[in-house]
């Protein structure tokens, strides 16, 4: 269902309309009259004849038509009554500003559910409650009471911002307006009881005027719609940058006390955003600091940087900053350096960073001469111009003009780092994004190009099945059945036999021809090693007999009936990895890949994958680990088998998905990896009904 009635309503009723433009019920009317709304406004206030110069109506039923949208600016139970009245009147879209609902506890959540049910029954949608409202500056539909639109007058522009928090909807607005950037949309959705940030994002990103979408999320409640919005955005080439706050433990605690936000495993949020090409910003600064770059519409082929400055120190600092930000410096072709040598004085550096030196003082055209030469170099994608000192004696308006002309003619990404405002202003006037320091300029380039890369690599994720969100009783499969299930999904498991007699185990050892392991096998014993139920390196019949009796004694002592005793070949390989997976209540199947061993909890080294993924995705994920060198080969050893690890990861994902919700967690620990394979040694499958898959 379209959200057009929220974003472009033909008419808007204001329930609780106020004549005072500083009241919640007065401000939207004031804004819409002031900022060019051309639809019809219907103030509803039984106590007044007129509101802010408009005829006021006693109730919704008295209006001459069903308003397309309604603002509910009354509080508490009056808000609930107003929702009912709106539903009855045929309103399509209602924005509930009142707080005191879902954010206060279960009772408020129940009231939200009731309002949503009323609305849906009548074909109406709700934004809020606890919403500061929606603002579309493209058509003046300002269904919002934010004070920021007084403090920083709006200007229609290419940016859209959607936030659950009212404050964080207008913080980016204010920061961008202070930099002269216009916004088309500034929406605060509040508690998302019906329309979510994700659903609104999917609608907003279809507005052809929107070139950049900023999101602020405190609660992750609707990954499907957000994934859908991201897909539309990628099709349209619109980058999405998102802050999801509550990353830290203290932040989660604060968010819980602020909005009752569900804690979401933060690393899954990271993986989800990256998977969908959404850049995760760490805070409000990162959300907006590269906006000028995004709005240029640059399509850099790569992320190799050229630095050009009249100061050697700036060249050094820029190279350091690029290194910190992970931006490689371009290596100039010999032909480029030759050409630069012709332009620059003999003592200047014609390699990158390009130090044009104080020769700039006698030749103000040097930036303009050097830029096209470096621009023609095949290795250069990005340009940083550094001007640490300027003013008297420096023709910086000329430098700015030359840089702007190069930028427009070449379509290349160019930014300036200059501590002096006069210099930055001159470049900004030419359209060149400008920053105070090298670090800020380079960070913006790194984000912009990094975002470009994840957008290009993005693809949809399997968001179902989902894990249970509350406390649910789960059961385990025993080790043998767990391994067999994984084998069926393509992961080789260690050679083994589930034995019911000592003779069987002894025969297995003879068959194997080497040492074996005996382990108690029971779904009731998911964690065996603490109980003396595992015996290693059994190489003859006597040793096997002793171990068999020991396991039987210990199992009897624990009062556990065994499914049998599992005999397995003693396997060895180059490295133990752990491959695990679980159904997240929000994000569905999530697979974890990591280094194994006894120190894994104290020194974790793992990464996440969201299905579906292929061997290349697994390779990319492994390259994020500390042990990444092992997958390229270390000290003459052959590389560990990535294809084998990919089979393991895909088996775990496949089992979770096939389980359809009945398998909630899979743990393969260890997977023994060598240069030509990966074999599951131990595994544990858990779920509400895991045996249904066997």
Pick one of 539, 599, 643, 692: the residue that binds a second copy (CB under 8 A): 599
| Residue 628 CA: distances (Å) to CA of 14, 386, 639, 688 | 59, 36, 10, 35
Q: Is 518 exposed, middle or buried (0-12, 13-18, 19+ CB in 10 A)?
A: buried
Q: Which tokens in the block code for residue 564?
A: 């049998």
Per-residue contact flags (x/-) with a second copy for residues 345 to 374, judged by CB under 8 A: --x-x-x-x-x-------------------
Nearest approach, Cβ of residue 257 and a second copy (Å): 5
CA distance 286 to 445: 12
Segment interacting with a second copy (CB under 8 A) among 79-87, 160-168, 474-482, 643-651: 160-168
- Using the contact rule CB under 8 A, the part of the chain among 106-114, 193-201, 382-390, 657-665 near a second copy is 382-390
By C-beta, is 164 or 506 nearer to a second copy?
164
336 binds a second copy (CB under 8 A): no
Nearer to a second copy, 176 or 193 (CB): 176
127 binds a second copy (CB under 8 A): no
Q: Which of 33, 104, 139, 363 binds a second copy (CB under 8 A)?
A: 104
Residues 271-300 that bind a second copy (CB under 8 A): 282-286
Interacting residues with a second copy between 161 and 180 (CB under 8 A) = 165-168, 170-171, 174-175, 178
The residue among 42 and 145 lying less far from a second copy, judged by its C-beta, is 145
Residue 511 tokens read as 């068959």
Nearer residue to a second copy within complex by CB, 438 or 563:
438
DSSP assignment of 39-88, as one string?
Answer: SEEEEE-TT-SEETTEE-BSSGGGSSS--SEEEE---HHHHHHHHHHHHH
String of contacts with a second copy for each residue 539-568, x by CB under 8 A: ------------------------------
- Residues with Cβ within 8 Å of 246's Cβ and at least 6 positions away in sequence, in order, are 218, 252, 254, 255, 261, 263, 264, 266
User: CA 342 → CA 189, 370, 371, 398, 687, distances in Å?
Assistant: 59, 10, 14, 21, 72
If the CB atoms of residues 314 and 449 are measured against a second copy, the closer one turns out to be 314
Exactly one of 162, 306, 329, 566 binds a second copy (CB under 8 A); that residue is 329
User: Which CB atom, from 244 or from 481, has the smaller least distance to a second copy?
Assistant: 244
Q: How many CA atoms lie within 13 A of 638 on its CB side?
A: 10
Could you tell me the smallest distance in angstroms from the CB atom of residue 619 to a second copy? 17
Angle between the N-to-C axes of helices 197-204 and 223-236, in degrees from 0 to 180, rounded to the nearest 10: 20
389 vs 510 by CB, closer to a second copy: 389
Nearer to a second copy, 191 or 664 (CB): 191
Distance CA 685, CA 526 (A): 9
CB of 352 to a second copy, least distance (A): 8
Q: Which stretch binds a second copy (CB under 8 A): 196-204, 415-423, 607-615, 675-683?
A: 415-423
Q: Which is nearer to a second copy, 392 or 527 (by Cβ)? A: 392
Query: Which of 55, 179, 301, 324 touches a second copy (CB under 8 A)?
Result: 324
- At residue 503, the 3 state secondary structure works out as helix
Which stretch in 305-313, 465-473, 558-566, 664-672 sits in contact with a second copy by CB under 8 A? 305-313
Q: Between residue 75 and residue 94, which ones bind a second copy under the rule CB under 8 A?
A: none
In the complex, the smallest distance separating the C-beta of residue 63 from a second copy, rounded to whole angstroms, is 30
Rounded Cα gap, residues 491 and 483, in angstroms: 9
Residues with Cβ within 8 Å of residue 34, at least 6 apart in sequence: none
- Taking CB under 8 A as the criterion, which residues in 243-262 touch a second copy? 243, 245-251, 253-255, 257-259
CB neighbours (10 Å) of residue 614? 9
Question: Which of 388, 465, 515, 532 lies at the binding interface for a second copy (CB under 8 A)?
Answer: 388
CB of 251 to a second copy, least distance (A): 4
Instruction: Kindly identify the residues of this chain, within the stretch 433-492, that bind a second copy according to CB under 8 A.
Output: 436-440
The candidate with the shortest Cα–Cα distance to 93, out of 59, 66, 131, 124, is 124
Determine the number of helices (DSSP H) and then strands (DSSP E) in the chain. Answer: 23, 30
Query: Using CB under 8 A, which of 75, 118, 316, 571 touches a second copy?
Result: 316
Tokens of 123: 């074909």
Which of the residues 10 through 69 are near a second copy (CB under 8 A)? 22
Residue 108 CB coordination number (10 Å)? 19
CB of residue 153 to a second copy, shortest distance in Å:
12
| Phi, psi values for residue 422, rounded to 5° | -65, -35
CA 186 to chain centre: 20
C-beta of residue 591 within 8 angstroms of C-beta of residue 646: no
Helix (H, G, I), strand (E, B) or coil at 95: strand
Pairing of strands 11-15, 516-521: unpaired
Least gap, CB of 347 to a second copy (angstroms): 7
Phi/psi of residue 493, nearest 5 degrees: -115, 165
Q: How many residues bind a second copy (CB under 8 A)?
A: 83
In whole angstroms, what is the distance from residue 231 CA to residue 458 CA? 9
- State in angstroms the smallest separation of the CB of 629 from a second copy: 4
The Cα 657–Cα 677 span in angstroms is 24
Binding segment toward a second copy, per CB under 8 A, in 397-405, 540-548, 553-561, 599-607: 599-607
First and final C-alpha spacing in the chain: 41
Contacting a second copy within 628-687 (CB under 8 A): 629-630, 634-635
Stretch that binds a second copy, among 145-153, 202-210, 376-384, 521-529 (CB under 8 A): 145-153
Query: Which ranges in 261-395 belong to alpha helices (H)?
Result: 266-275, 284-288, 291-294, 312-325, 334-343, 366-375
Window 611 to 630, contacts with a second copy (CB under 8 A): 626-627, 629-630
Structure tokens at 282: 């760490």
Q: In angstroms, what is the minimal distance from the CB of 296 to a second copy? A: 23
Query: How many CA atoms does the CB half-sphere of 335 hold within 13 Å?
Result: 6
Selected binder of a second copy within 65, 107, 235, 323 (CB under 8 A): 323
Of 187-246, binders to a second copy (CB under 8 A) are: 216, 218, 243, 245-246
List, in sequence order, the alpha helices (H) in 382-531: 396-410, 421-429, 438-457, 479-488, 502-512
Of 54, 150, 333, 560, the one binding a second copy by CB under 8 A: 150
Report the residue number, 272 or 631, with the smaller CB distance to a second copy: 631
- Among 124, 195, 293, 315, the residue binding a second copy under the rule CB under 8 A is 315
Angle at 173 between CA 167 and CA 174, to 5 degrees: 85
- The least distance separating a second copy from the CB of residue 317, rounded to whole angstroms, comes to 5
């Amino acid at each position: 269902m379209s959200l057009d009635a929220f974003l472009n309503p033909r008419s808007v009723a204001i329930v609780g309309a106020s004549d005072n433009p500083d009241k919640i019920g007065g401000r939207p009317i004031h804004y819409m009259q002031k900022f060019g709304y051309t639809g019809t406004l219907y103030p509803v206030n039984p106590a007044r004849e007129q509101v802010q110069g408009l005829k006021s109506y006693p109730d919704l039923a008295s209006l001459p038509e069903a308003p397309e949208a309604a603002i509910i600016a009354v509080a508490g139970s009056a808000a609930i009554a107003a929702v009912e009245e709106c539903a009855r009147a045929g309103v399509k879209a209602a924005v509930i500003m009142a707080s005191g609902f879902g954010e206060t506890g279960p009772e408020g959540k129940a009231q939200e559910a009731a309002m949503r049910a009323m609305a849906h029954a009548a074909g109406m949608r709700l934004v809020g409650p606890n919403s500061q409202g929606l603002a579309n500056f493209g058509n003046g539909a300002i269904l919002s009471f934010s004070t920021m639109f007084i403090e920083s007058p709006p200007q229609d522009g290419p940016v859209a911002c959607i936030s659950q928090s009212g404050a964080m909807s207008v913080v980016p607005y204010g920061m961008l307006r202070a930099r002269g950037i216009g916004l088309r949309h500034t929406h605060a959705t509040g508690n998302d009881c019906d329309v979510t940030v994700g659903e609104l994002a999917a609608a907003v990103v279809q507005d052809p005027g929107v070139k950049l979408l900023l999101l602020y999320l405190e609660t992750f409640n609707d990954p499907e719609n957000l994934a859908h919005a991201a897909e539309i955005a990628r099709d349209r080439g619109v980058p999405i940058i998102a802050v999801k706050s509550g990353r830290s433990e203290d932040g989660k605690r604060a968010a819980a006390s602020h909005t009752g936000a569900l804690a979401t495993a933060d690393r899954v949020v990271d993986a989800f955003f990256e998977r969908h090409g959404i850049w995760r910003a760490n805070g409000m600064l990162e959300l907006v600091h590269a906006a000028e770059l995004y709005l240029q519409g640059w399509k850099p082929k790569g992320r190799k940087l050229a630095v050009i400055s009249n100061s050697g120190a700036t060249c050094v600092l820029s190279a350091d900053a690029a290194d910190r930000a992970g931006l490689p410096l371009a290596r100039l072709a010999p032909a480029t350096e030759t050409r630069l040598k012709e332009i620059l004085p003999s003592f200047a550096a014609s390699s990158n960073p390009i130090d044009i030196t104080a020769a700039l003082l006698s030749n103000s055209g040097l930036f303009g001469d050097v830029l096209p030469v470096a621009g023609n170099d095949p290795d250069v994608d990005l340009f940083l111009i550094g001007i640490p000192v300027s003013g008297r004696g420096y023709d910086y308006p000329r430098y700015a003009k030359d840089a702007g002309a190069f930028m427009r003619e070449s379509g290349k990404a160019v930014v300036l780092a200059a501590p002096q405002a006069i210099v930055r202003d001159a470049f900004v006037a030419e359209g060149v994004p400008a920053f105070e320091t090298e670090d800020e300029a380079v960070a913006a380039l790194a984000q912009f190009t990094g975002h470009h890369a994840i957008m290009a690599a993005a693809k949809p994720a399997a968001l179902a099945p989902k894990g249970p969100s509350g406390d649910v009783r789960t059961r385990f499969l025993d080790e043998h059945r767990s391994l067999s299930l994984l084998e069926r999904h393509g992961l080789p498991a260690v050679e083994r036999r589930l034995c019911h007699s000592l003779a069987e185990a002894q025969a297995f050892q003879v068959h194997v021809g080497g040492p074996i392991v005996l382990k108690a096998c029971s779904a009731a014993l998911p964690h065996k090693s603490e109980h003396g139920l595992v015996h290693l390196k059994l190489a003859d019949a006597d040793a096997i007999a002793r171990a068999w009796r020991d396991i039987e004694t210990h199992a009897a002592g624990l009062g556990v009936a065994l499914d049998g005793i599992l005999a397995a070949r003693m396997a060895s390989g180059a490295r133990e990895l752990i491959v695990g997976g679980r159904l997240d209540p929000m994000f569905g199947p999530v697979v974890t890949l990591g280094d194994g061993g006894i120190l894994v909890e104290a020194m974790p080294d793992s990464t996440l994958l969201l299905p579906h993924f292929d061997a290349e995705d697994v390779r990319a994920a492994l390259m994020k680990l500390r042990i990444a060198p092992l997958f390229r080969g270390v000290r003459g050893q052959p590389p560990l088998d990535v294809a084998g690890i990919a089979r393991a990861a895909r088996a775990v994902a496949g089992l979770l998905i096939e389980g359809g919700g009945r398998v909630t967690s899979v743990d393969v620990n260890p997977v023994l990896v060598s240069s030509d394979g990966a074999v599951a040694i131990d595994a544990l499958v858990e779920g509400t009904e895991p045996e249904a898959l066997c």
